[in-house]
Amino acid sequence: MRRAVSRLATGVLITVVAASACSSGGSGSAGGSTVAPATSPATAGGRWVETRVPVGDGSISVRCKGATSTAPPVVFLTGLGLDAESSWLASGVPDTVSASTKACVYDRPGLGRSTSSTTPRDLDHHADELDAVVRGVGLPTPIVLVAQGYGSFVGRVYATPAKHQDAVAGLVLLDPPLWPLDPTPPAGASEGQQAEYATVSELNDQLGRYGAAAMPPPPVPIVVYGADPSRPSRPPGTPGGTVVGSTPPGTVDPTVAVRHERQKEYADKSPFGQFEVIDGAGAELQFWKPDLVVQAVRSLPSP
């Protein structure tokens, strides 16, 4: 059963080299892509086209599919320590969205097919890297951002007036955390994953900056979906599934009611905010309810 509450419905030097999409390499690697002549994703037909965008002393792997249409392009943001291959692309949601507009996924530095970088792994730099991605592949703005978990912080900072509010047409946020996160990296975490987890303690200390009350959303359509924290992050049998709900020592895991209250509060701060609890589905809602995520993207009005 669903319970719904709604209201209305840094300068970075960029050079671009496109490469044919191939299977993902390990986290922190470039995935063994073969460099090819620059190709516009808009002319690539039905395949994913990779663009490498230099940022700092590393490079970000961006993959896009579909052609620019009257609907805004859609950029997908991954959860904490996750790469696009094992999270968004594995869910099939970006493939479906690419049938009606251009869809792009990317790996933050040190994750998936992107190389590592010595630039700080904090939200301000994440937002600047997202800007580099948007400009590096030539996406027309405004864009729609679809973010899961930790990625929602990146999208929200990017969409602030101090960053690129005018470049955002709408946001779809899947189980955005408004409580402390567990800073412990998973067993076997790569160097890139460890670097991203190392920023969590600072994020927890500054959570007030990013909480529902502290960072109002931009005045654009926003869809916020709350998940069931008693369920695993992904459906049983899905590769990469993890159990959510663990918190740092000394913190109290908020109750389900508190989680959803904070998420609703955030959605309600937008004049176009919508909030819905998806019962029986874990944090990575793109695996539990992929059609619902696609529907949310397509329900956003065109700017």
Domains, the chain, ordered by start? 2-299 (3.40.50.1820)
pLDDT score of 19: 37
pLDDT score of 240: 67
Three-class SS state of 74: strand
Phi, psi of 246 (to 5 degrees): -75, 145
Nearest 5°: the CA angle 241, 227, 249 is 70
For residue 249, the Cα-to-chain-centroid distance in whole angstroms is 26
Q: Which residue has the tokens 């926003």?
A: 222
β-strand partners of 168 = 143
pLDDT score of 101: 95
pLDDT tops 70 at residue 24: no
pLDDT tops 70 at residue 18: no
Q: Could you tell me the two tokens for 295?
A: 């529907």
C-alpha to C-alpha distance for 137 and 175, rounded to whole angstroms: 28
pLDDT score of 45: 47
pLDDT tops 80 at residue 9: no
Q: Which residue has the tokens 């994953």?
A: 193
pLDDT score of 249: 57
C-alpha to C-alpha distance for 119 and 13, rounded to whole angstroms: 14
> What integer best gives the mean pLDDT of the chain?
82
pLDDT score of 247: 53
Query: Of 170, 54, 37, 70, whose CA–CA distance to 62 is shortest?
Result: 54
- 3-state SS of the chain: helix, strand, coil percent to 5? 30, 20, 55
Whether the bond between 290 and the residue before it is cis, its omega within 30 degrees of 0, is no
C-alpha to C-alpha distance for 215 and 179, rounded to whole angstroms: 14
Q: Which residues contact 130 (CB under 8 A, 6 or more apart)?
A: 75, 77, 154, 155, 158
Query: Of 16, 261, 22, whose CA–CA distance to 139 is shortest?
Result: 16
Pairing of strands 103-106, 74-77: parallel
C-alpha to C-alpha distance for 58 and 13, rounded to whole angstroms: 12
pLDDT tops 80 at residue 25: no
Q: Is the dihedral of CA 177, 269, 73, 159 positive or negative?
A: negative
* C-beta of residue 81 within 8 angstroms of C-beta of residue 111: yes
C-alpha to C-alpha distance for 281 and 225, rounded to whole angstroms: 10
Q: How confident is the model at residue 187 (pLDDT cuts 50, 70, 90)?
A: confident
Three-class SS state of 180: coil
Q: Which residue has the higher pLDDT, 193 or 211?
A: 193
C-alpha to C-alpha distance for 190 and 38, rounded to whole angstroms: 30
Phi, psi of 257 (to 5 degrees): -60, -40
User: What are the pLDDT digits (tens) for 143-154?
Assistant: 999 999 999 999
DSSP alpha helices (H): ranges in the chain? 90-91, 93-97, 123-136, 151-158, 191-197, 200-205, 207-210, 256-268, 285-288, 290-299
DSSP 108: -
pLDDT score of 241: 59
C-alpha to C-alpha distance for 56 and 86, rounded to whole angstroms: 25
The enclosing H or E element of 193 equals helix 191-197
Query: Of 161, 170, 116, 121, whose CA–CA distance to 141 is shortest?
Result: 170
